[in-house]
């Protein structure tokens, strides 16, 4: 047999058969590239039946990435519903790119409070959409809203002692709020970039206050605000409107009241300027204004001197009030007193229960006042 003919027959015939077979190749799957296989992702966060505080929103859903045999361009779809059958979907997040750390997350919009939610996710990759992850449930706690605290005092423009009582009206609340506390902040600018003092105080009756535990620098302007907090539920109010105040030095009477641990004028504050009266030193004219215990012989009573009533009367005299006006101002401004003024020429004293406040030399304007224990 001719060698060339034989070879052509052998090779040519076989190649024709292969070519025919290749050209006629059919497939039960899509022609060209195959589609990928995709597993369900594993839901990891929030944990099953997690309780989420309303204030902790927005919630982030996280799944462990699905296994995808053709893993380029995998995306995820997340669904949140109020029923296990997902008939009532409240949020759907599609096309979420797969995370590179083995997990994929999506942040939800704020959900309504006091409800159970069910969520699931599935992956799409390699032209195949995988099954949903097992359904997970979480509960969003009820919404708790705190109103904004309303400042009582000091209000803007006030002049205060170095330890003013910062007071706000208690907030109103919506929802099952827990114990409320108030964060008081004092700053040297209205921007509150530098908070020089702050404290958290338990809620009082109707109002809540804070008195600084140390003196603020005098003759300076400060700004303060208060924010209500429900720590158990992670809720806080908006800060109260910012108020300003300017500190002034304590009067002599206020300093002694402070030593007694008391506020001389917890309510209305008297007008006037200081420098119109002097406290008499202990000696031949009186017992002096230092804190001490004195003895009232007619009643066989030991008593503290000075008390708030004496200090308030002196403070008003120091602010330029005459004795009669001082007694009147106290009785009409919430500081009731039984003091009586015995004017010159017989006397120049203010009679109290155990003592007299005596104007030395009967000079009661810009005079010196002594504490004299009564003997009758």
Partner 1 sequence: MRVIVATIATALTVSAVASAQPPASTMPASETKGFAEVVAQSAFGNVTSQSFGGEVGYTVRPNVQVFVDAGLVRDAAPTSLGTNALRIANGIAAVAGSADFHVKEPVTFGVVGVRLVVPTSYPNVLPYVEVGGGAAQVKRDVTFTTPSGDVTQFVTLGTDLSGSDTNGMLSLGAGVAVPIGKSFLVDVGYRYGVVFTSGDRLNINRAGIGVGVRF
Strand, helix or coil at 354? coil
Nearest distance in Å: CB 2, partner 1: 9
Contacts of 263-268 spanning 24+ positions with Cβ under 8 A: 263/165, 263/211, 264/308, 264/311, 264/312, 264/315, 265/312, 265/315, 265/335, 266/165, 267/333, 267/334, 267/335, 268/333, 268/334
Measured over the CA atoms of residue 173, residue 174, residue 178 and residue 184, the dihedral's sign is negative
- Closer residue to partner 1, CB minimum distance, 40 or 152: 40
Strand, helix or coil at 11? helix
36 touching partner 1, by CB under 8 A:
yes
Binding mask 82-121 for partner 1 (x = CB under 8 A): ----------------------------------------
**Which of 292, 316, 283, 185 shows the shortest CA–CA distance to 241?**
185
Nearest distance in Å: CB 81, partner 1: 18
Nearest distance in Å: CB 107, partner 1: 23
Give the binding-site size for partner 1 (rule: CB under 8 A): 51
Binding residue for partner 1 (CB under 8 A) from 67, 143, 252, 372?
67
**Which of 366, 344, 362, 360 shows the shortest CA–CA distance to 280?**
360
**Which of 369, 373, 155 shows the shortest CA–CA distance to 252?**
369
- Per the CB < 8 A criterion, the answer to whether 215 and 259 are in contact is no
Q: Which stretch binds partner 1 (CB under 8 A): 13-21, 172-180, 227-235, 266-274?
A: 13-21
- Closer residue to partner 1, CB minimum distance, 131 or 249: 131
Binding mask 133-172 for partner 1 (x = CB under 8 A): xx--------------------------------------
Binding residue for partner 1 (CB under 8 A) from 73, 112, 114, 131?
131
A 10 A CB-CB count for 298 gives 10
Q: Which stretch binds partner 1 (CB under 8 A): 1-9, 73-81, 193-201, 224-232?
A: 1-9
Q: Which stretch binds partner 1 (CB under 8 A): 33-41, 147-155, 182-190, 194-202?
A: 33-41
- Closer residue to partner 1, CB minimum distance, 24 or 101: 24
Which token pair is 70?
Answer: 């053709």
- Per the CB < 8 A criterion, the answer to whether 133 and 40 are in contact is yes
76 touching partner 1, by CB under 8 A:
no
d(CA 172, CA 155): 21
128 touching partner 1, by CB under 8 A:
yes
37 touching partner 1, by CB under 8 A:
yes
Length, in residues, of the chain: 376
List residues binding partner 1 (CB under 8 A): 1, 3, 6-7, 9-11, 13-42, 64, 66-70, 126-131, 133-134
């Amino acid at each position: 047999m001719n060698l060339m003919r034989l070879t052509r027959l052998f090779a040519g015939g076989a190649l024709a058969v292969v070519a025919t077979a290749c050209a006629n190749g059919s497939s039960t799957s899509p022609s060209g590239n195959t589609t990928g296989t995709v597993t369900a992702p594993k839901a990891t966060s929030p944990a099953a039946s997690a309780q989420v505080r309303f204030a902790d929103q927005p919630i982030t859903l996280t799944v462990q990435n699905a296994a995808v045999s053709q893993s380029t361009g995998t995306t995820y779809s997340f669904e949140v519903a109020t029923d296990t059958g997902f008939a009532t979907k409240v949020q759907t997040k599609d096309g979420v790119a797969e995370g590179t750390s083995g997990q994929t997350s999506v942040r939800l919009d704020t959900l309504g409070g006091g409800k159970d939610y069910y969520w699931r996710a599935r992956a799409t990759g390699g032209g195949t959409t995988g099954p949903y992850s097992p359904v997970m449930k979480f509960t969003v706690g009820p919404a708790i809203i705190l109103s904004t605290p309303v400042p009582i005092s000091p209000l803007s423009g006030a002049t205060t002692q170095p330890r003013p009582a910062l007071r706000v009206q208690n907030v109103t609340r919506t929802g099952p709020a827990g114990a409320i506390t108030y964060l008081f902040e004092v700053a040297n600018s209205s921007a509150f970039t530098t908070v020089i003092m702050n404290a958290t105080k338990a809620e009082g009756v109707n109002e809540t206050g804070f008195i600084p535990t140390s003196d603020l620098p005098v003759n300076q302007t400060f700004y303060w605000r208060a924010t209500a907090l429900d720590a158990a539920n992670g809720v806080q109010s908006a800060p109260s409107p910012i108020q300003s105040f300017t500190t002034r030095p304590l009067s002599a009477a206020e300093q002694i009241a402070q030593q007694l641990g008391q506020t001389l004028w917890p309510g209305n504050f008297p007008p006037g300027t200081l420098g119109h009266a002097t406290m008499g030193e202990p000696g031949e004219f009186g017992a002096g204004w230092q804190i001490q215990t004195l003895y009232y012989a007619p009643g066989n009573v030991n008593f503290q001197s000075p008390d708030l009533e004496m200090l308030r009367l002196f403070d008003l005299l120091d602010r330029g009030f005459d004795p009669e006006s001082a007694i009147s101002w106290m009785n009409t401004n919430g500081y009731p007193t039984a003091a009586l003024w015995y004017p010159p020429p017989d006397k120049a004293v203010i009679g109290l229960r155990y003592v007299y406040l005596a104007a030395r030399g009967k000079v009661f304007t810009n005079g010196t006042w002594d504490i004299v224990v009564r003997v009758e």
